[in-house]
Amino acid sequence: MEGNKTAVVTAGSRGIGRAVVLNLLRHKFDVITCSRSQTKLEALHQDAQQKNRSGKLHSVPADLSQKAGVDRFLDFVSQQSNDIDILVNNAGAFIPGKVSSEPEGALEDMIHINLYSAYRITRGILPQMIRKGTGHIFNMCSVASIQPYEHGGSYCIAKYALLGFTRVLREEMKEHSIRVTAVLPGATLSDSWKDVDLPQKRFMPAEDIASSIYHTYTLSPRTVVEDIVLRPQLGDI
């Protein structure tokens, strides 16, 4: 009997990452994830058990804004599986500000978590995908990757760079039959917006982003959705 497929999802303890993890577990994927918070990971495990998810969940605390954290997570992944079917580079953070006035170091912080983490994790997972000649990589970009906005500052710069990385990777992986997809969500109901005084109907549910990732993966290997752009029905915030 064929076993479960395996997915790696970075920063899977909350928001979109959490929704992606739970969705893949429901569809009988074994999922390997990480978070900076052990407490949030424990809550994720409890939630997965309560909802009787079919796949197995493996997790480890790791800060992917630091290379040591990336190395820790990649070591953990290799201990769990050497046959990864899906990689979702979801780790990211948002610091509001303008280029002209944001704090010194804001750009470096945004690049490290939003770009370097995806770059390093991908390089760690790619060799096994290339060996077996299949796999699907999803990079969690943003509408900020294509539409800058006021107070977006270094966050927009980092997300533009992440989209560029995704498109370069798409070209490189064609010959290896590895699909690469950029996910560009607009305002999604998550902790990033918890202090904003707006009704829930102005936000997309994180579960919708998770569903779009799973259904994109289920398409024929002869087809790739290069960009998934999702926005609230009532428009950007």
What does the pLDDT read at residue 51?
A: 84
What one-letter code names the amino acid at 213? I
What does the pLDDT read at residue 63?
A: 98
Of the CA atoms within 13 Å of residue 24, those in its CB half-sphere come to 31
Question: Encoding tokens for residue 51?
Answer: 């909802």
Question: What's the pLDDT tens digit per position in 182-230?
Answer: 999 999 987 766 677 788 889 999 999 999 999 999 999 999 999 999 9
Question: What's the pLDDT tens digit per position in 20-50?
Answer: 999 999 999 999 999 999 999 999 999 999 9
What does the pLDDT read at residue 2?
A: 67
End-to-end CA distance of the chain: 48
- Mean pLDDT score, 68-79: 98
Coil, strand or helix: which one is 57? strand
Separation of alpha carbons 37 and 57, rounded Å: 16
> What domains, with CATH codes, occur in the chain?
5-230 (3.40.50.720)
Cα–Cα distance list, 151 to 61, 101, 102 (Å): 31, 10, 9
Question: What's the pLDDT tens digit per position in 104-116?
Answer: 999 999 999 999 9
Question: What's the pLDDT tens digit per position in 145-187?
Answer: 999 998 999 999 999 999 999 999 999 999 999 999 999 999 9
Question: Encoding tokens for residue 142?
Answer: 């943003």
* Residue from 199, 195, 236, 191 nearest 14 by CA: 191
pLDDT at position 1 over 50: no
For the beta carbon of residue 201, count every other beta carbon within 10 angstroms.
9
